[in-house]
Amino acid sequence: MADNRIALGIIGAGIMGERLLGAALSQAADAIRVAGIWDPSPDAMARIAAAFPDVPRLNDAAAVVAACDCLYVASPPASHLGYARMALSAGKTVFCEKPLAVDVADARAFVAQAGGRGAVNFPFASSPAVSALQRWIAEGAIGTPRRIAIEVAFATWPRSWQADAAAWLDARAQGGFTREVVSHFLFLSRRLGGPLTGLKASADFPEAGRSERRIAATLTAGSLPVTLSGSVGTTAKDDHNIWMIEGDAGAVRLCDWSMAEKRAPDGTWHRDPDALPNEKARPLVLKRQLEGVARMTRGETFHLATLAEALDVQQTVEAILMSATST
């Protein structure tokens, strides 16, 4: 019997590459098969060999592109577009980690070239918690939307589980929490509100050569005003975040990635009874993301973050970081 699953190639065997690899094998095996993985780091490849001995470990990026229908790019941001262009030139589709890139002009050129043959891994596109927010909004829980507020905070940056990637995650050129975390909430604002415009921002880089430690911004998503704040060292939690949309009749919010909550008339917040903590929600989200990858690669309608959406987010992120108040 013919195997009609989409062949997924993976470049990058860090946290995200390994996470999506595991999901493809265990959660979405009916839609996806793994054609192979490659990382320039021998240590990373050895780790994959130990954890996933049956997954083909290929010799270089070109071998991964040749073996796949869709290329998942999970390498550091500055390398994203080089690999993505290699895949497009070979007639393959691309599923890219965020941020799409760090060079805005190059990203614009890439998006113009790629058309609809790519998407970016913003998991909120497949989040059950986001679906709950959208359902509540459609049911009239907030009335007419009025504003969006985003708040993120970290005990340290990078987060404890990212220590192995600190060399680039805490460097100004490719890293920082605005690219890695705030981008998700800007994507959510764009998807539910509209294009991102009217940015006014500040970013603080108090340690030479290292990523930002504080940001503040105002902008609009469609017609909705957005306020944004982010900081490091201001919470005891590894990672704390709230995204809220408020209207003239109420408000709903997303807390710590996966907890949908609705505000009652008395001002108290009530959590969706079906809410799952992020570590339990993640497998379902990744499965839905990979099902979207399969649809995209087949040329069908898909729900993933489009390249145009990702470019809008990237332009906003890089503009925030360019507003540095110190060096």
What is residue 3's predicted lDDT score, i.e. its pLDDT? 84
- 11 has pLDDT over 50: yes
Phi, psi of 36 (to 5 degrees): 160, 165
Phi, psi of 148 (to 5 degrees): -125, 140
Q: What is the mean pLDDT of the chain?
A: 95
pLDDT digits (tens, 9 = 90+) for 147-159: 999 999 999 999 9
pLDDT category of residue 1 using cuts at 50, 70 and 90: low
Mean pLDDT of 2-14: 93
Q: Kind and range of the H or E element at 317?
A: helix 307-321
Q: Where are the domains of the chain?
A: 6-122+283-305, 125-277+312-321
Mean pLDDT of 68-72: 98
- 327 has pLDDT over 80: no
286: buried, middle or exposed (CB in 10 Å: 19+, 13-18, 0-12)?
A: buried
What is residue 165's predicted lDDT score, i.e. its pLDDT? 83
What is residue 205's predicted lDDT score, i.e. its pLDDT? 97
Mean pLDDT of 250-276: 96
- 198 has pLDDT over 90: yes
- 256 has pLDDT over 80: yes
Mean pLDDT of 32-61: 97
Mean pLDDT of 271-279: 95
- 163 has pLDDT over 90: no
Q: What is the DSSP string of 79-129?
A: GHHHHHHHHHHTT-EEEEPSSS-S-HHHHHHHHHHHTTSEEE--GGGG-HH
Mean pLDDT of 123-136: 98
What is residue 164's predicted lDDT score, i.e. its pLDDT? 81
The CATH T-level fold of domain 6-122+283-305 is Rossmann fold (3.40.50)
The CATH number fitting domain 125-277+312-321, selected from 3.40.50.10800, 3.30.365.10, 3.30.360.10, 3.10.580.10: 3.30.360.10
- 133 has pLDDT over 90: yes
Residue 277 has a CB neighbour count (10 Å cut-off) of: 11
Residue 304 near residue 293 (C-beta atoms within 8 A): yes
pLDDT category of residue 116 using cuts at 50, 70 and 90: confident
What is residue 325's predicted lDDT score, i.e. its pLDDT? 61
Residue 204 near residue 214 (C-beta atoms within 8 A): yes
Give me the percent of the chain exceeding a pLDDT of 90.
92
What is residue 324's predicted lDDT score, i.e. its pLDDT? 82
Closest CA to 232 of 253, 211, 216, 214: 214
| Type of residue at 170 | D
- 326 has pLDDT over 50: no
Identify the residue whose tokens are 């939307």.
Answer: 145
Name the β-bridge partners of 70.
8, 93
- 61 has pLDDT over 60: yes
